[in-house]
């Protein structure tokens, strides 16, 4: 975990990229965001708690915990590999995008097209994807979903585009 080069101080970037440091920063950021968002909420008293009482209290606690985690991370020194060493941008981008494709097409274009779009976009997230396989998978899955959700359970999903 601590692989510091002999005789040299660990560079800031190495320390920053350590998971506890990042986690601590994340928590602090969320806590500060929460405190800022709730800045106008009524706090009230313990007896009559306002809208902001419990949220702000929790944000302060979260802030404190975030600082502790950050300090723990800094104390642990530089990491050999950052937590995102294996990062590959494709899944990170295309998995959420596939869901977005679904979101923006389900209501206007119906479930079948939305599902096809989800699979089409989502396919870019994978390794060694072969187009024919994806098409076949799409056909099977869409058929399966139709059978289960629309025919089997009778859910009120619009299947085809509303033209």
159 binds another protein (CB under 8 A): no
Q: Which two tokens stand for residue 74?
A: 């800094």
Polymer length in residues for the chain = 163
Choosing from 8, 156, 162, 163, the residue that interacts with another protein (CB under 8 A) is: 156
Using CA atoms of 140, 89, 93, 98 in order, give the dihedral in degrees to the nearest 10: 0
Task: Name which of 86 and 162 has its Cβ closer to another protein.
Answer: 86
- Interface map 107-146 toward another protein (x if CB under 8 A): x---x--xx--xx--xx-xxxxx---xx--xx--xx--x-
Choosing from 15, 16, 23, 135, the residue that interacts with another protein (CB under 8 A) is: 23
**Alpha-helix runs per DSSP H in the chain:** 12-16, 19-37, 53-75, 89-122, 131-145
Q: Which of residues 28-87 bind another protein (CB under 8 A)?
A: 30, 34, 37-38, 41-42, 44-52, 54-55, 58-59, 61-62, 65-66, 68-69, 72, 83-84, 86-87
Task: Name which of 87 and 163 has its Cβ closer to another protein.
Answer: 87
Cα–Cα distance for residue pair 122/21, rounded to 1 Å? 32
* CA proximity to 94, closest of 120, 121, 115: 121
As measured in angstroms, the least distance from the Cβ of 143 to another protein is 12
Cα–Cα distance for residue pair 73/136, rounded to 1 Å? 47
Choosing from 10, 15, 16, 22, the residue that interacts with another protein (CB under 8 A) is: 22
């Amino acid at each position: 975990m601590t692989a510091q080069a002999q005789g040299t101080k660990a560079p800031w970037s190495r320390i920053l990229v350590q998971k506890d440091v990042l986690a601590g920063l994340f928590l602090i950021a969320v806590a500060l965001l929460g405190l800022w968002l709730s800045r106008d909420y009524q706090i009230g008293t313990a007896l009559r708690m306002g809208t902001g009482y419990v949220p702000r209290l929790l944000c302060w606690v979260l802030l404190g915990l975030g600082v502790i985690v950050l300090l723990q991370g800094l104390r642990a020194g530089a990491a050999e590999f950052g937590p995102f060493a294996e990062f590959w941008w494709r899944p990170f981008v295309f998995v959420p995008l596939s869901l977005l494709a679904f979101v923006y097409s389900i209501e206007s274009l119906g479930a079948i097209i939305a599902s096809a779009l989800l699979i089409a976009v989502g396919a870019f997230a994978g390794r060694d994807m072969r187009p024919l396989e994806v098409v076949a998978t799409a056909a099977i899955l869409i058929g399966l979903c139709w059978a289960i959700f629309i025919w089997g359970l009778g859910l009120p999903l619009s299947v085809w585009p509303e033209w």
